[in-house]
Structure 1
Amino acid sequence: MTKEFKTVAESIVTISELMLPSRSNFNGKIHGGYVLSLLDQIAFACASKHSGVYCVTASVDTVDFLNPIEIGELLTMKASVNFVGSSSMLVGIRVEAENIQTGEVKHCNSSYFTMVAKDNEGKSVKVPGLILKTEDDIRRFAKSIKRYDNKKKRRAEFHETDFVSEEHLHIVEGYNVKIER
């Protein structure tokens, strides 16, 4: 039987992986695409752990690459459900890299994924609510509401048909762009 509410702590997933040369780009840093793949995996695990069912990625709301990840560092990702709707969950992920020789830890990435719980037929299903116990839980939930509201405003503002080139030429003025017709 699925719980009606779960604590944030019940959804937490932590994954660590040593960064190997095979994961690097041409500059010798860990490839951002590989990190995105790991982020999607932990978001899935976290959302599925909270909901108790299969989950899909609905959107990648934010991915901020803050510091490069070096070959040989221990990458640790920590994910938790920060917000729940009826069938959706906003999963916050913090990525840190540790130099295993010096012990120095740096914050490399913060990300937010919207995940949706699905049944066996692919229909969205209700997820347990969140029990907020700590100040961090409350802060993250409140910030997630703000993110959700901003996302709705952005969607409402940017419909493809809303931008007719002649009427919106003033928007591109002052940017590094040249219009040729």
Structure 2
Amino acid sequence: MDAKPARLSRTVLTEIILPADTNYHHTVFGGRVMQYIDKVATIASMRHSRRGVVTASSDSLDFFAPVKLGEAIQLEAVVTWTHRSSMEVYVKVESENLLTGEKKTTAESYLTFVALDEKGQPTPVPAIIPETDEEKRLFETAAARYEARKQRKAERMAHTF
């Protein structure tokens, strides 16, 4: 299976924040942002693997700033690293005031997806070829995140009720 450039998985999702998307502070619900993150990361991982995928984990979701009513939210996802059947996906979330053009990074997240074959079983995925400086940085730091995920999972399994 040939490795693929990370750029081929890059996916962008843009939405406008409407009243139904907001809380009583007139900022987007965190759960709505989580939904957008899962959606854009799913598309990126399917583009990379050309398989159906499932979300295996969400390592982190760090919020830096609110997205306000009437602003655009833009999410950019890219597969940063792969293991046998799993893919790490990085998602960057930005907001844009559509009247002034001001943009800010509002959140970022790392998720893991597993590619599935026709029988619903994990199946191998191509390796990643990072090209840009950002892709290289994400790729070089991914193995440490993978090991941290494994450690967290092992600790949870040891402490189940």
Secondary structure of the residue aligned to 1:10 is helix
The Cα shift of 1:121 comes to 1.2
Map 1:64-83 onto structure 2 (within 5 A): 64-83=62-81
Equivalent residue, structure 2, for 1:173: none
Structure with the greater alpha carbon radius of gyration: 1
2:34 matched to 1:36?
Answer: yes
SS at match of 2:68: coil
3-state DSSP of counterpart to 1:112:
strand
SS in 1 for 2:87: strand
For 1:42 and 1:102, locate their aligned partners in 2 and report how far apart those are by CA, in whole Å: 26
Identity of aligned residues (%): 36
Matched position secondary structure for 1:153: helix
- 1:147 matched residue in structure 2: 145
Gaps of 5+ in 2: none
Question: Is contact 2:80–2:130 with CA below 8 Å preserved after alignment?
Answer: no
Shift of 1:109: 0.6
In structure 2, the partner of 1:16 is: 14
RMSD, aligned α-carbons: 1.5
Aligned to 1:49: 47
Residues 104-160 of structure 1: CA distance to partner in whole angstroms, max 9, x if unpaired? Answer: 101111001100000121101111111122322221012111111122223334421
Instruction: Could you list the structure 1 runs, at least 4 aligned residues long, displaced by more than 6 angstroms after superposition.
Output: none
One-letter identity of the residue aligned with 2:65: N
Residue identity opposite 1:155 in structure 2: K
Q: Residues 32-181 of structure 1: matches in 2 within 5 Å?
A: 32-158=30-156, 159-160=158-159
User: What is the TM-score normalised by the length of structure 2?
Assistant: 0.94
The secondary structure found in structure 2 opposite 1:41 is helix
Q: Is the 8 A contact 2:81 2:142 kept in 1?
A: yes
Distance in 2 (CA, whole Å) between partners of 1:157 and 1:18 is 40
2:124 is aligned with what amino acid? K
Equivalent residue pairs, number: 160
How big is the shift at 1:66? 1.0
Q: Which runs of 5+ in 1 are unaligned?
A: 164-181
The TM-score normalised by the length of structure 1 is: 0.84
Counterpart CA distance in 2 for 1:34 and 1:85 is: 29
Where relative contact order (Cα < 8 A, 6+ residues apart) is larger, the structure is: 2
Amino acid aligned to 2:74: T
